[in-house]
Amino acid sequence: MTNHVHLLATPDRTDDLAYAMRRLNQCYVSAFNRRHGRTGTLWESRFHSCLVDTERYALTVYRYIELNPVRAAMVEDPARYPWSSARANLGLSPLDFLSPHPVYYALGADPDERARAYAEWLRSSLDDEDLAAIRSHIQQQRALGSPRFQAMVAKVLNRPVQVRPRGRPRTVALSEENSNG
C-alpha cells in the first residue's frame, strides 16, 4: 500500500516477529534516510500485530490483505498489484521468499488445485463483518479467532483478547444508579 504494509507471518519463536520488524525498520529507515539526505524516524509508531487463529481466520486474513489494493482502488484485480502475494497464491508466478501457510496447502492436493480453490475463495469477497473484525483486532492488537482460541490466548499470555469499544467506559451517574436500584 502507499502508506502501510500488511504481512501474514508465522514466526518460529515468540519474539521472532518483533525482532524481524525492528531489523526491517532499522535497515529500511537507514537506507531511506541515506537516499533522501535526511535523518530521524520515518514511522509514526511501532507495528501493529494480532494473533490469528488458523482455518477460516487465516484464510480470511489472506483475502483481507490481497484485496486491500482493490478496496483502495489501486487495481481492479489483486493479481495486478506488484507488491502482493496474490500472483503466487493464484499460481501465476512463484515467489521464492513466500512460504504459504498450512491452511493454504490444505486447499488442494497439488499447486493447480490450490490455485483454483484460492481463486474461488478470493473472488468470494470479504463481508463487512469480517473486514471490521480484522481492522479492530489489528488496531487493538487482540487475538482474532474463535472464542476457544481467544480463551486459550488470554490464559497463556495473561492479556485481554476481546476487542473493546472505543473510548472510556461510560460512567453511570449517581441519579441513574439510584433510579435503577
Give the Cα separation of 53 and 114 in Å (integer): 20
Q: Would you call 62 exposed, middle or buried from its count of C-beta atoms within 10 A (0-12, 13-18, 19+)?
A: buried
Give the Cα separation of 110 and 87 in Å (integer): 16
What's the confidence (pLDDT) of residue 180? 58
What's the confidence (pLDDT) of residue 1? 80
Give the Cα separation of 138 and 42 in Å (integer): 21
Beta-carbon-side half-sphere exposure of residue 19 (alpha carbons within 13 Å): 6
**CA distances, 98 to each of 29, 67, 88 (Å):** 23, 18, 8
What's the confidence (pLDDT) of residue 15? 86
Give the Cα separation of 94 and 97 in Å (integer): 9
Residue spans of the domains in the chain: they are 1-47, 52-141
What's the confidence (pLDDT) of residue 175? 54
Per-residue pLDDT for the chain (181 aa), expressed as one digit of tens each? 887 888 888 888 888 988 998 898 899 999 999 999 999 988 877 778 888 998 779 999 999 999 999 999 999 999 999 999 999 999 999 888 888 889 999 999 999 999 999 999 999 878 899 999 999 999 898 999 999 999 999 999 898 888 988 777 777 655 555 555 5
Give the Cα separation of 166 and 133 in Å (integer): 14
